[in-house]
Amino acid sequence: MPAPRIDLAERVLAAVLGVRRVVRRRVRAALPGPHLPGSQVELLRVVHRNPGIGVAAAARELSLAGNSVSTLVNVLTEAGLLRREVDPADRRAARLQLTDAARDRMAAWRRTRTGLVSAALAQLSDEDTSAIVAALPALERLTEVLKEDPA
């Protein structure tokens, strides 16, 4: 019989990944335009949260190799979703900014995702909704622990 913590870990992963997968599919179906791979979306989110971030810092934030992020930057720049700006303090370094097209697209994703999940939450019982609210701080702390622990 597996250890209870392993069962819990599997259930947490299945629940979180299941919600994410369903939301991603439904958002893709609802929004026009080409669908971006998750890694590109994650980079756009990092740049959205950190305007002017450099490639190396974005790579650290995403836990990816610098050359992988450089490739993502090239693809997103060609797609008109990212813009490279020269760092005034170091002309060799690039600072990343979202384009207006990326901001618009991200706003549409956010509206669609939020609407979808809000509608689903409205169908749950007050007890289920309260349980989700109560679990959020622990899930947020779990995310931070996973970010900090390289193992």
Q: What 3 state SS string does the chain have?
A: CCCHHHHHHHHHHHHHHHHHHHHHHHHHHHCCCCCCCHHHHHHHHHHHHCCCCEHHHHHHHHCCCHHHHHHHHHHHHHCCCEEEEEECCEEEEEEEEECHHHHHHHHHHHHHHHHHHHHHHHCCCHHHHHHHHHHHHHHHHHHHHHHHCCC
User: Could you give the C-alpha distances from 88 to 51, 92, 94, 95, 148, in angstroms and in order?
Assistant: 15, 9, 9, 9, 31
CATH at 115: 1.10.10.10
Range of the domain at 107: 19-124
How do the pLDDT tens digits run along the chain, 151 residues long?
Answer: 555 777 999 999 999 999 999 998 999 889 887 888 889 999 999 999 999 999 999 999 998 999 999 999 999 999 999 999 988 888 888 899 999 999 999 999 999 999 999 999 999 999 999 999 999 999 999 988 988 866 5
Q: Is residue 7 part of a domain?
A: no
Overall number of domains in the chain: 1
Task: Answer whether residue 40 is part of any domain.
Answer: yes
Please state the pTM of the whole predicted model. Answer: 0.74
Residue 129 falls inside a structural domain: no
Residue 134 included in any domain: no
